[in-house]
């Protein structure tokens, strides 16, 4: 029998629900879940809210343990989980609050192509992308970095690729954190992780990772869209991937170390998957350095995926990528921990913000928003499923006040991968997608079945909540027309 959450969920607003810290002895703060009344009924049907309550046990946690409307069960934290810890209050860093796929994230690439130009050649374009972009479990790519090069890449992030002629300054400027966490120390990364990453930078991977050719089918805020160079009918490309086997190994290595650290520092937790260490401890610093190195690898991975995509479009359309207008609109991280300044109880603090399946969403005027977007706010890219739509949003001041500058990261699963495969039995997924106007290619039927549209919540409903809750604002909606997956 499926376990359900039986604890309290008190309505705070129409789009916010509280798990009071009185629910479980040891909770240091309340839990807050952003969701509609309709969504909260579904959210109760698994134990993700229990995970929100468990995160509230973490030493040094500030204000609340928070979850977004795309919440579902994950390792330690729920997917969609957010928390901030204060290093000055024995705050911890927790791999479960970041995930195995460190800096899994998404980037949006504009083009000056329009649907009427691409539609007649779409199938051939998708085939060419599928042939040239490495996809699938363990798949290696065209870029190989030996250990020395890999260390430089993990230390310097996308600026290392800039020096090699594989990135532009605009690419760097339009990547969160300019594609580099300064806390990275490649020496903190194991040889096994280096081996796994040597041939995987510039590869898509499997699971929910994808490259989509999309068309902008609705612009909600024309003034903001204009600043980003987005208009109805325009063809864009969305790329979703992370740190591949290197990041997975960094997390695996850290969990072995931090399980012992949790005991060493007498940290009492309700779930062993929340293994953690004080940020200022040697164990905490070691993981922070390795996690940051893996995050830099992930930004380079998405940069190289974009670079290869530009090359495919160049050959296919017979024009340079610059002539095709293939600008990076923005790149956001979904699984990461970073030090940021936030106001907590009217005091500005430097806190470690954990985002696990959640997106930074800073408002207009914020110093960390690129100068080209500072008048409108940080672009926020929210992928949906491969049969419906994705969204482009911007951050608002409300995100700083309510969620440590954070919003949702996608649609969120409603079916596990195994459940999706079972439900897909007898279905011709690629044909069903084609009937919706989407050409899809994957390494296997199972790869498509695991990610079929029915496995996900409706992203329109998820995005509606974060806008109505006042933490992000809609700009434009894109729908997929071509998809490649592992």
pLDDT tens, position by position, for the chain (486 residues)?
568 999 999 999 999 999 999 999 999 999 999 999 999 999 999 899 999 999 999 999 999 999 999 999 999 999 999 999 999 999 999 999 999 999 999 999 999 999 999 999 999 999 999 999 999 776 677 899 989 999 999 999 999 999 999 999 999 999 999 999 999 999 999 999 999 998 999 999 988 899 999 999 999 999 999 999 999 999 999 999 999 999 999 999 999 999 999 999 999 999 999 999 999 999 999 999 999 999 999 999 999 999 999 999 999 999 999 999 999 999 999 999 999 999 999 999 999 999 999 999 999 999 999 999 999 999 999 999 988 999 999 999 999 999 999 999 999 888 888 888 888 887 888 888 888 999 999 988 888 888 888 889 899 999 999 999 999 999 999 999 999 997
Q: Are strands 79-85 and 347-356 parallel, antiparallel or unpaired?
A: antiparallel
Question: Does 203 map to a domain?
Answer: yes
Question: Does 379 map to a domain?
Answer: yes
CA–CA distances in Å: residue 262 to residues 251, 275, 353:
16, 6, 19
Question: Does 156 map to a domain?
Answer: yes
Backbone angles phi, psi at 473, to 5 degrees: -130, 140
Least Cα distance to 389 among 298, 446, 474, 302 occurs for: 474
pLDDT at 413: 87
Question: Does 1 map to a domain?
Answer: no
pLDDT at 1: 53
* Secondary structure of 333-369 as H, E, C letters: ECEEEEEEEEEECCEEEEEEEEEECCEECCCCCCCCC
Q: For the chain, how many structural domains are there in total? A: 1
Give the span between the Cα atoms of 448 and 486, in whole angstroms: 8
Give pLDDT tens digits for 253-270: 999 999 999 999 999 999
How many other C-beta atoms lie within 10 A of the C-beta of residue 346? 5
Give the span between the Cα atoms of 296 and 462, in whole angstroms: 29
CATH number of the domain within which 197 lies? 3.90.1860.10
Question: Does 470 map to a domain?
Answer: yes
* Reported pTM: 0.96
Question: Does 4 map to a domain?
Answer: no
Give the span between the Cα atoms of 102 and 93, in whole angstroms: 14
Active-site hit among 334, 342, 366, 409: 409
Q: Are residues 209 and 450 in contact, defined by beta-carbon separation less than 8 angstroms?
A: no
Give pLDDT tens digits for 320-357: 999 999 999 999 999 999 999 999 999 999 999 999 99
Question: Does 301 map to a domain?
Answer: yes
- Mean pLDDT (the chain) is 95
- Does 409 participate in catalysis according to the annotation? yes
Question: Does 103 map to a domain?
Answer: yes
For 143, the domain range is: 10-485
pLDDT at 139: 66
Give pLDDT tens digits for 404-422: 999 999 998 888 888 888 8
């Amino acid at each position: 029998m499926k376990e359900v959450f039986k604890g309290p969920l008190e309505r705070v607003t129409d789009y916010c629900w509280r798990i009071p810290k009185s629910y479980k002895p040891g909770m240091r703060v309340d839990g807050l879940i952003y969701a509609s009344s309709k969504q909260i009924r579904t959210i109760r049907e698994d134990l993700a809210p229990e995970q929100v309550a468990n995160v509230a046990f973490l030493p040094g946690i500030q204000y609340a343990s928070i979850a977004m409307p795309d919440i579902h069960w994950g390792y330690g934290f729920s997917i969609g989980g957010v928390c901030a810890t204060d290093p000055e209050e024995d705050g911890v860093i927790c791999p479960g609050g970041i995930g195995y796929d460190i800096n899994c994230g998404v980037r949006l690439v504009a083009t000056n192509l329009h649907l009427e130009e691409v539609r007649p050649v779409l199938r051939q374009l998708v085939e060419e992308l599928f042939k040239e972009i490495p996809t699938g479990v363990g798949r290696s790519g065209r870029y190989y970095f030996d250990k020395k090069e890999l260390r430089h890449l993990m230390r310097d992030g996308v600026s290392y690729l800039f020096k090699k002629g594989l990135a532009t300054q605009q690419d760097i400027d339009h990547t969160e954190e300019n594609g580099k966490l300064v806390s990275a120390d490649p020496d903190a990364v194991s040889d096994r992780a280096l081996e796994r990453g040597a041939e995987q930078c510039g590869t898509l991977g499997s699971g929910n990772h994808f490259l989509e050719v999309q068309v902008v089918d609705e612009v909600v805020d024309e003034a903001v869209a204009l600043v980003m160079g987005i208009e109805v009918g325009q063809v864009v490309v969305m790329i979703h991937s992370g740190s591949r086997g290197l990041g997975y190994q960094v997390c695996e290595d850290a969990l072995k170390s931090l399980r012992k650290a949790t005991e060493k520092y007498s940290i009492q937790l309700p779930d062993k998957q929340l293994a953690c260490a004080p940020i200022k401890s040697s164990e905490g610093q070691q993981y922070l350095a390795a996690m940051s190195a893996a995050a830099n690898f992930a930004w380079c991975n998405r940069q190289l995926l974009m670079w290869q995509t530009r090359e495919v479009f160049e050959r296919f359309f017979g024009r340079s990528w610059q002539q095709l207008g293939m600008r990076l609109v923005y790149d956001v991280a979904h699984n990461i921990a970073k030090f940021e300044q936030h106001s907590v109880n009217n005091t500005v603090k430097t806190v470690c913000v954990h985002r696990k399946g959640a997106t930074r969403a800073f408002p207009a005027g914020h110093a960390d928003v690129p100068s080209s977007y500072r008048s409108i706010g940080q672009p926020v890219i929210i992928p949906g499923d491969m049969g419906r739509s994705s969204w482009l949003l911007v951050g608002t001041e409300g995100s700083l006040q309510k969620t440590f500058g954070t919003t949702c990261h996608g649609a969120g699963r409603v079916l596990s991968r195994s459940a999706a495969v079972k439900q897909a039995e007898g279905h011709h997924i690629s044909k069903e997608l084609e009937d919706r106007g989407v050409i899809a290619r994957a390494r296997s039927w199972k790869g498509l079945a695991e990610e079929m549209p029915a496995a996900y919540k409706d992203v329109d409903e998820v995005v509606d909540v974060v806008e109505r809750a006042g933490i992000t604002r809609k700009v434009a909606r894109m729908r997929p027309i071509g998809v490649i997956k592992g």
